[in-house]
Amino acid sequence: MAKQYGKIMTVWFGNRPTIVVSDYGSVWEVLVTKSSDFASRSMTYRSKFMTAGWRTLSTLHFSDAWYNLRKGAQSSFFHPANVLAQTPFQESDVQQMIRSIGEEATENDGVVNPLPHIRKGVVRLIGRLCFGPDFREDEYFVEAMDVIIEDTIKQMSVKSVADFFPFLRHIPGFNRPFLEAYKLKRRIEDLISPFLDQYHSPSSSSSLFEMFILAVDSTSLTIAWALVFLIHDQQIQDKLYKELIGLEYYGKEGALGLEQSRCRHNCYGEPLCMLHDPAVWKEADHFDPERFLQDAAGRPQGKLRDREEEDAAICMTAMERSFFPFGAGRRICAGMELAKPHVALGLGNLVKAFQWSSACEGKLTS
């Protein structure tokens, strides 16, 4: 659409205008330079049920209440000490994931769907952050939360005319999506409330569920899509495997060159048009995770088109301003320091433990 209508366009959904920005310079201006002007949220009425009246971190308007909520999350859940304390549990979770994938592969002649296993590992990780280290033993919660997350994504991805004309929620037939959203809200509360004390606020369950759904969906899809690209480029998969041999821990910053760049190449949430912009990247449509590595001079190996002579600082700045896997500015992802090592750890172990190839109609392809 950007090629036809330009890199800044307005799309109307009912009476709701949505501005789509795909130029990296304009995106940087929106997210960083003028972030205070664009940091608020416009939500559909249906989302009100599962966000305690739009009082969660991702739905609150930019205000003192939002600032206090984010500060609380970063000083508790995502505090560096808390994130570091998850390391031994993450390693245990990953090994459990590897075992369960191996068992499924054995039962199905080598064919496996890794995504459900990856998702449950992320549920355990977020569960420990929210409820303490003993949480990992509660497999019922893990299974139930994974199902609710999947149901929520399916429900919210199907738009209804009543989302754009909220008064229709009072009319029989049109109110069905709202009734389903309310039932989903009750399921969320019934699952999370037993882990909370009697003094928790009405928005506690919604805020905690938001942490689960945002982390599970984005992190698991990032790892899954990384596997897809590695399946389609066996040479890079083999190179990554050789780099992984002998490493005991795959999540340390800088421990892996190709592994870290592989994760950057496919971080979930990055606008595809920006990652495939030929004005920024050479061979923009080519799968090349090494483009994010730096050469001896500190320049990105994926140099900007026609700018080979510019110094390293200019190249790095231009690259970073066209790559926002965790967003930027005031709304930058609060949990990115937790997600980065988990993605690297999970993907590294998956590649080291198995040789991945595509399957067609339940059978391995040559």
The annotated binding site is made up of 333
d(CA 356, CA 153): 27
d(CA 134, CA 132): 6
- Residues with Cβ within 8 Å of 181's Cβ and at least 6 positions away in sequence, in order, are 46, 47, 49, 50, 155
| Under 8 Å between Cβ of 222 and 266 | yes
d(CA 21, CA 15): 19
CA angle 334/340/342 to nearest 5° reads 110
What amino acid occupies position 117? H
C-alpha dihedral sign at 104, 110, 113, 117: positive
Residues annotated in the binding site for heme, as ranges? 333
CA angle 70/121/338 to nearest 5° reads 35
| Under 8 Å between Cβ of 124 and 93 | yes
> CA 320 → CA 58, 252, 327, 366, distances in Å?
24, 21, 11, 38
d(CA 142, CA 235): 36
